[in-house]
Structure 1
């Protein structure tokens, strides 16, 4: 339980740091947010719990393929905001499109031979 709390606190600190840096320097906040810190920490914690090279390789590869469907969200949200859309609407639509793309990846990926 202590390990879970430590992981949750670390994630919270990361999010708070990104928000604080982004408030002052939006581009720097975006750079920090784009770093695969969560993925790296996830891999470290997964390795510590189950040091299995094949399991880790599958995890890292699947992470790559699941990042791709999330990328359009980062173009859709600014486009909607610049056209005058409400932030919450733009965020909601961006998330909805991402969910649809994730579902599509889950359906199409295995047909293309991807191990997701």
Structure 2
């Protein structure tokens, strides 16, 4: 079952990359769809049938995790528009995401 999960998850990522090469905006839109969250939710539900508390906690974490992710993409986008190289833009976006993620965890306590 682990290999099936691995293959399906990787196939979705590869398809997103292939679409993104041809249609960058569409690839970005598809990548931001809740595909990853949905896949994880389905795998968690299949591995833990009837554990609604865990599933609810997971979905709450995903919901609150949108904020740090938005910070990451806003920062990365504007850094790239200002002419920063990709590694620097990703580092700045990553630091903002990390700050948002730490705040996320603190708020959920």
TM-score (structure 2 length as normaliser) = 0.89
Q: d(CA) in 1 for partners of 2:16 and 2:28?
A: 8
- The answer for the alignment partner of 2:102 in structure 1 is 103
- The answer for the alignment partner of 1:64 in structure 2 is 63
What pairs with 1:73-88 in structure 2 (closer than 5 Å)?
A: 73-88=72-87
| 1:39 lines up with 2:30 in the alignment | no
The unaligned stretches of length 5 or more in structure 1 are 111-116
Deviations 1:69-101 (A, max 9, x none): 111111111111111100111112211210121
The unaligned stretches of length 5 or more in structure 2 are none
2:76 and 2:93 in contact (8 A); partners too: yes
Q: d(CA) in 2 for partners of 1:30 and 1:108?
A: 29
- The answer for the alignment partner of 1:17 in structure 2 is 15
Q: CA RMSD in A?
A: 1.3
Paired residues in the alignment total: 108
Per the TM alignment, residue 29 of structure 1 is displaced from its structure 2 partner at its CA by 0.4
